[in-house]
Amino acid sequence: MNAYPTPHINATPEDFAKTVLMPGDPLRSKFIAENYLENARLINNVRGIHGYTGTYRGIKVSVMASGMGMPSIGIYSYELYNFFGVENILRVGSAGAMREDIKVRDIVLGMGACTNSGFGAQYALPGAFAPIADFSLLECAVKRCKEAGARYHVGNLLSSDTFYGDDAEASKNWMKMGVMAVEMEAAALYMNAARAGKRALAICTVSDHIITGEATSAEERQNSFTQMMEIALGVACDMD
């Protein structure tokens, strides 16, 4: 019996490319499809989570939103990996810088993803699992960043369950461990990829700065982080 369509994705495996770009915002998914993909077609819109497939420089590529937070990306990435035959998911999102040497609009590549989430408890491991990116995707992303002349950083992200945290000192404790930036999805994506034997990488643009307070607008986050999008599309081509 087919496991698709699911309650969240009304499509078939043939609708998806091997590589999916996954922004959090459905409007960013729409922006990528309309501005970068040729012959893009809407393949999913359940709950307003726009999913499209088209071609980029002759390569079949999909883009679909994940929504916000680990439970949401956990659902969509699990289904894409396990039911729809997707091999690579590239998170293209925003993050808050947690180091002074990282500037707003820099790109951060999540080699690892720390988390304050209980997402990993489901695996009943006798210890703490370290969620990491796939090296082949990371290597391609670094190459693409260099070719684009992008300001980029490679290291640990923090995937947080809380946007409005009650502990004002929590960020400082992560900073002392050298964590680059905070976002809300990468750790769950990396764990799902590990469990499914698939590949994942988070490529994020710094949208705001935890230390300085500098920030970009919602419209800028939706439409102007084009360098990150182009780097991810380049990685998708490398994986074909």
Catalytic residues: 208
Q: Which stretch of DSSP H or E encloses residue 196?
A: helix 186-196
- Assigned token pair, 95: 């993050």
Q: CB 18: neighbour CB atoms within 10 A?
A: 16
d(CA 176, CA 43): 44
Q: Are 26 and 32 in contact (CB under 8 A)?
A: no
Cα–Cα nearest to 107, from 73, 64, 83, 138: 138
Query: Strands 107-115 and 152-159, how do they pair?
Result: parallel
